[in-house]
């Protein structure tokens, strides 16, 4: 032991690091911050370290070439010993990191930790969120499969809409005229050098400021932040009711970090790595690209926004949100910290969470995407054909063969882009059905040129049978009166 101490002293005499490290570890923190609510920041850092380690391991096998990347991923999954597990750790670590960063940010916001004098810590945190999302997006590209390829196309399409500079941005982003070798190489550079380098610098700044300014005290309702008195009050608090961070508070961080690492490892072990999906071959067009989990809300937004608003919302929206986050500590740098007395803050968090959650949930089954194989693959529910005439059955055939099912559900299957057709006869009269089929409208293509009159007649005859047994199909009252055959005419004749 004496030898070890002597060696340590020899090094410290030259490095002079023991004292600042001890000061940092033992700096006093308010006792009530040793809470399970205060563990997310350190957990994010631990998962980031896991990402660095697994990323370096993956880079030892991965080949960042458009020609070879997919094959090297296959080798990692199937050939390299535990290659699949390291890939799974990195993929799940990415999901956990985004989730923990978002939870950490929410906690910091609700606990008023962004207020004076921690404005800059928050601002650096906002950039840490952006770089974390940047890592998640560029990481999705590293998994160079069909989703990555077409995802890049979507990114290029969005970037191209920037006024004036759009085409130049697309060229710069792709590194050439198409999504190819140069594109993967530059996203590899971003994912492995530029963004993580920025992230490391920002993390150091972030942690340094937490150490220098002290951890945010537990917010008490009614204890307001004032620039003139805050720092004096905080020092009194840590003096009167403080305890050294190590070991008083750090054990909770360590327990939670271990729990998170175990969760990442468990997911990786039992669920395995993400993809890759099909080869990134642009001539294989039988694909329906989907973004990774944390960008699903964007996928939903791009489908649901009215076309006229889309470009403005997609280009200006992120800038507005970022600026709002950056301005937050200046707009409300003083005053109440406790979420119990900040109803608007709580409502804002709930609103954002519900919005993002709803969009993500919608994107998981994407009701706006046609089911490309429904027309040929989904069976027609048997009960819909029972007791139908030859003409109506002919119409059912037209409905399948003309891909109506790709957008319209019948029974349990079919697309959800258009309304379900199970009860369409209750909603639309015969004339309205014919008009809708031939002219389209309301987001439906016109089939006038693709259906013969005989096909239209048969199709509408079948659609008219689609109503519940206890509910009559819609009919035009005036038509019955004019033609003398409708129920109104019969009723008045009886009278």
Partner 1 sequence: MSNETLLTRRGLLMKLGILLNGMVAAALAVPVVRFVLSSITLGRENAYVSWVSLGQVSDFPEGETRLATFRNPYVLPTDGQTADTACWVRRIEGEQFQVFAVNCAHLGCPVRWFPQSGLFMCPCHGGAYYRDGSRASGPPERGLFEYPFKVENGTVTIHAGELPTPGTIAPASAKAMTGERVEGTAPPCA
x-or-dash string of contact with partner 1, 70-89, rule CB under 8 A: --------------------
Does 439 contact partner 1 by CB under 8 A? no
**Which residue lies nearer to partner 1 by CB, 286 or 383?**
286
H or E segment at 328? Answer: helix 307-331
- 27, 75, 120, 175: which one binds partner 1 (CB under 8 A): 175
Of the candidate spans 80-88, 347-355, 404-412, 420-428, the one that interacts with partner 1 by CB under 8 A turns out to be 404-412
Provide φ and ψ at 376, rounded to 5°.
-100, -20
Does 413 contact partner 1 by CB under 8 A? no
**Which residue lies nearer to partner 1 by CB, 248 or 368?**
368
**Which residue lies nearer to partner 1 by CB, 9 or 157?**
157
Where does 218-367 show beta strands of DSSP type E? 242-244
Query: Is residue 206 within 8 Å of 128, Cβ to Cβ?
Result: yes
d(CA 342, CA 334): 13
**Cross-strand bridge partners of residue 410:** 413
Measured in residues, the chain has a length of 495
Query: Is residue 220 within 8 Å of 338, Cβ to Cβ?
Result: yes
Of the candidate spans 44-52, 126-134, 155-163, 381-389, the one that interacts with partner 1 by CB under 8 A turns out to be 155-163
For the CA atoms of the chain, what is the radius of gyration?
31
Measured from the CB of residue 311, what is the shortest distance to partner 1 in angstroms?
A: 8
Query: Is residue 337 within 8 Å of 223, Cβ to Cβ?
Result: yes
- 222, 266, 377, 445: which one binds partner 1 (CB under 8 A): 445
Of the candidate spans 20-28, 232-240, 420-428, 437-445, the one that interacts with partner 1 by CB under 8 A turns out to be 437-445
Of the candidate spans 103-111, 130-138, 164-172, 464-472, the one that interacts with partner 1 by CB under 8 A turns out to be 164-172
Measured from the CB of residue 454, what is the shortest distance to partner 1 in angstroms?
A: 15
d(CA 266, CA 95): 13
Tell which positions 258-297 bind partner 1, by CB under 8 A.
279-283, 285-289
Query: Is residue 462 within 8 Å of 388, Cβ to Cβ?
Result: yes
H or E segment at 100? Answer: helix 83-110
**Which residue lies nearer to partner 1 by CB, 48 or 299?**
299
Q: Which residues contact 96 (CB under 8 A, 6 or more apart)?
A: 47, 260, 263, 264
Tell which positions 369-398 bind partner 1, by CB under 8 A.
369-370, 372, 375
Quote the DSSP letter at residue 213: H
**Which residue lies nearer to partner 1 by CB, 272 or 278?**
278
Q: Which residues contact 418 (CB under 8 A, 6 or more apart)?
A: 407, 408, 443, 444
Query: Is residue 143 within 8 Å of 372, Cβ to Cβ?
Result: no
- 89, 407, 425, 474: which one binds partner 1 (CB under 8 A): 407
Does 182 contact partner 1 by CB under 8 A? yes
Report the interface residues with partner 1, using CB under 8 A: 65-68, 149-150, 153-154, 156-162, 166-168, 170-172, 174-182, 185, 279-283, 285-289, 299, 302-303, 305, 307, 310, 368-370, 372, 375, 401-404, 406-407, 417, 440, 443-447, 449-450
């Amino acid at each position: 032991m004496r030898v070890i101490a002597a060696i340590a002293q020899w090094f410290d005499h030259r490095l002079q690091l023991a004292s600042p490290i001890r000061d940092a570890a033992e700096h006093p923190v308010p006792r009530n911050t040793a809470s399970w609510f205060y563990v997310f920041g350190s957990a994010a850092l631990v998962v980031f370290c896991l990402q660095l380690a697994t990323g370096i391991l993956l880079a030892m096998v991965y080949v960042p070439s458009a020609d070879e990347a997919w094959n090297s991923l296959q080798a990692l999954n199937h050939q390299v010993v535990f290659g699949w597990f390291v890939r799974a750790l990195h993929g799940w670590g990415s999901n956990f990191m985004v989730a923990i960063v978002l939870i950490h940010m929410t906690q910091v916001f609700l606990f008023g930790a962004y207020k004076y004098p921690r404005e800059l810590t928050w601002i650096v945190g906002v950039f840490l969120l952006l770089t974390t999302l940047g890592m998640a997006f560029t990481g999705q590209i590293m998994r160079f499969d069909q989703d990555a390829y077409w995802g890049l196309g979507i990114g290029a399409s969005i970037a191209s809409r920037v006024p004036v500079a759009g085409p130049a941005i697309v060229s710069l982003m792709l590194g050439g005229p198409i999504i190819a070798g140069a594109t993967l190489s530059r996203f590899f550079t971003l994912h492995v050098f530029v963004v993580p380098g920025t992230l490391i610098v920002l993390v150091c700044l972030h942690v340094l400021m937490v150490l220098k300014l002290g951890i945010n005290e537990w917010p008490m309702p009614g204890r307001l932040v004032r620039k003139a008195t805050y720092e004096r009050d905080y020092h009194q608090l840590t003096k009167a009711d403080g305890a050294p961070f190590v070991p008083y508070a750090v054990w909770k961080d360590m327990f939670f970090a271990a729990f998170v690492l175990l969760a990442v490892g468990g997911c990786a072990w039992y669920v395995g790595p993400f993809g890759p999906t099909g080869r990134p071959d642009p001539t294989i067009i039988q694909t329906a690209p989907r973004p990774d989990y944390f960008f699903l809300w964007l996928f939903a937004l791009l489908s649901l926004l009215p076309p006229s608003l889309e470009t403005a919302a997609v280009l200006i929206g992120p800038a507005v949100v970022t600026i709002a986050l950056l301005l937050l500590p200046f707009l409300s740098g003083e005053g109440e910290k406790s979420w119990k007395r900040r109803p608007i803050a709580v409502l804002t968090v709930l609103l954002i969470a519900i919005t993002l959650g709803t969009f993500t949930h919608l994107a998981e089954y994407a009701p706006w995407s046609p089911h490309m194989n429904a027309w040929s693959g989904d069976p027609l529910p048997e009960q819909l054909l029972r007791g139908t005439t030859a003409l109506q059955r002919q119409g059912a055939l037209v409905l399948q063969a003309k891909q109506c099912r790709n957008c319209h559900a019948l029974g349990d299957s079919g697309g959800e882009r258009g309304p379900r057709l199970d009860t369409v006869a209750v909603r639309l009269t015969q004339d309205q059905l014919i008009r809708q089929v031939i002219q389209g409208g309301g987001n439906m293509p016109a089939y006038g040129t693709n259906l013969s009159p005989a096909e239209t007649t048969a199709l509408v005859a079948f659609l008219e049978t689609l109503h519940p047994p206890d509910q009559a199909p819609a009919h035009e009252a005036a038509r019955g009166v004019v033609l003398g055959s409708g129920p109104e005419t019969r009723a008045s004749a009886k009278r």
